[in-house]
Structure 1
Amino acid sequence: METSVLRMPSYKEKPHNFENNERYSQQNTPVDEATGNRRELLNLITQPTRFEILQNIYGHPKQLPSLKEIDYFMVDTSKSTIRNHLDRLIEKGMVEKVALPEEDRTRDNPQKFYGLTEECRTLLNETGLLSAERELQKTTLDTRLTPDVEKYMEAPRPDWGPASPIADDSV
C-alpha cells in the first residue's frame, strides 16, 4: 500500500499564483477592472457602520441629513467614527457633502448635509440592498426626536438632484 504525503511549501518557495490557475479562477474568466471596482465598492458599502450610515441617509425624509441627525440615529457609534466613515464614502463617490446656499443659511441651523450619489443609488438598487425607501423614511418620521434633532429635521435643505424626498402628502 502506497502512502502519499502532503508536502507543505517552504517559506522560501514563492506562493502559488491562483490568478493564472484555471482550476481556481472564478468561472474561468479573468476579473476585469469594472468587476473589481464593483466588488471593492460593495465591500465598502456593506461594512456595518457605513451601511448603517447609508440607511440613515436613504431613510431620511429629505434624503439629506446633517451629521447631527445621522449621529442621533446611530446611538452606539461616536460622531468621530461616523465622520471618518462619511469621509471614506465621500472619497469613493458613494456620498456627497451638500452645502446649503449662503442666502438660505440661518443661525443655529445645519449648513452641511449628506446625500447618496447617483452611482451609490444605482449600486444599491441593482443589488437590492435598500429596497424599502418610503418605509425607511416613514420610520424615521415616526421616531421620537429630541427638540434639537426635530429642529434640524425641519431645517431648510439644499435642492439637490439625486435626493428623493418623501412628499408631504404621503406621510
Structure 2
Amino acid sequence: MSNSVGGAGNPVGGEADPFGGDDVMPIEKQRRAHQFLTQETRYHIIQAVLGHPTYLATLDELEYLVPKNRSTIREHLDRLAEKQVMVKYKYRGDETERNEPREFWGFTSYGITLLEEYSYLRYVPVLRALQENLYLTEKIERHQNAPRPELPEDVSEALKIPEVDDETEAIIDDTLAVRERGGDRLFDAPPIEPDEDVETEPGADRPLDELF
C-alpha cells in the first residue's frame, strides 16, 4: 500500500462504503461499523495509534502496546486496511539509519471521519498521556523516534490535540493515578457489543460507550 488515501468522509479512491452498499440501511451500516471498531484487538490497535506521538506506529510498537501476539495484530491490521480505516504508510526518505523502520500504520481520511463520528477522537489527549507515561524499551523508543512520512493534512489536522479543559485534565489525572496504583492495562476494555435488535433513534448519539 502507498501513502495515498481518500478525501475526508469518503472511502479510499471513491470506492463503495466498506460497511454496505446503497441497498443497506444507514442504521445497519452504523451497527456494522460499531461492531467492527469495537472488536477487542482492533479496538486496542486504534487506541494505540490514537495515543502515539506521531499517530504512525510500527508493527513492533503495536506488538509492545497491544496485549496480543504479532500474528493476531497483523491479521487485524489487514482487516482495518480492508475496511479502509487504516493504511500502511511507507517512509521513502534518506534520513533513516540501519535497522530503523520504514513502514508505519496510521489512519486514512475515511478512518478519521469514522472515528470522529463515533467519538473516539475526544479521548486522544488521555491516550497520549498514557503513552507519554509508559516505560519504553530501547528498541521501542528507537522506533518511536524514527523518521516518518507525513500524514495527509486532513488527518493530521483532525488529530491535533486541542487545549485540554478541566474535565479532560481530571480524566487524565484519574487515569494516571490508576496506573500508579498498579493498574495493569494500558487501555480501557472495548465497549459492550450493542444489541442487534435495538435501533438508534433518529438524531440520537452514536452507540459508542464511554472509554473511561
Structure 1 residue aligned with 2:45, among 53, 67, 74?
Answer: 53
Give CA-to-partner distance per residue, 1:129-156, whole Å, 9 cap, x none.
3421122112212111111101111111
Q: How many Å separate the matches in 2 of 1:106 and 1:124?
A: 34
Q: Which amino acid aligns with 1:51?
A: Y
Secondary structure, aligned partner of 1:138: helix
TM-score, normalising length: structure 1: 0.72
The structure carrying a bigger helix percent of its residues is: 1
Structure 2 residue aligned with 1:86, among 77, 84, 89?
Answer: 77
For structure 1, the residue ranges without an aligned partner over 5 or more in a row are 1-30, 167-171
- State the partner residue of 1:42: 34
The structural deviation recorded for 1:165 is: 6.2
- Percent sequence identity over aligned pairs: 34
Structure 2 residue aligned with 1:140, among 97, 121, 131?
Answer: 131
The structural deviation recorded for 1:33 is: 2.4
Residue range with higher mean Cα deviation, 145-154 or 128-137: 128-137
Secondary structure, aligned partner of 1:38: helix
- State the partner residue of 1:7: none
Q: How many Å separate the matches in 1 of 2:47 and 2:148?
A: 19
Q: How many Å separate the matches in 1 of 2:34 and 2:91?
A: 30
Q: Which amino acid aligns with 2:131?
A: T
Structure 2 residue aligned with 1:70, among 41, 62, 65?
Answer: 62
Instruction: Pick closer, same or farther for the CA change 1:95–1:34 going to 2, 3 Å.
Output: farther
For structure 2, the residue ranges without an aligned partner over 5 or more in a row are 1-21, 162-212
Is the 8 Å Cα contact of residues 53 and 128 (structure 2) preserved in structure 1? yes
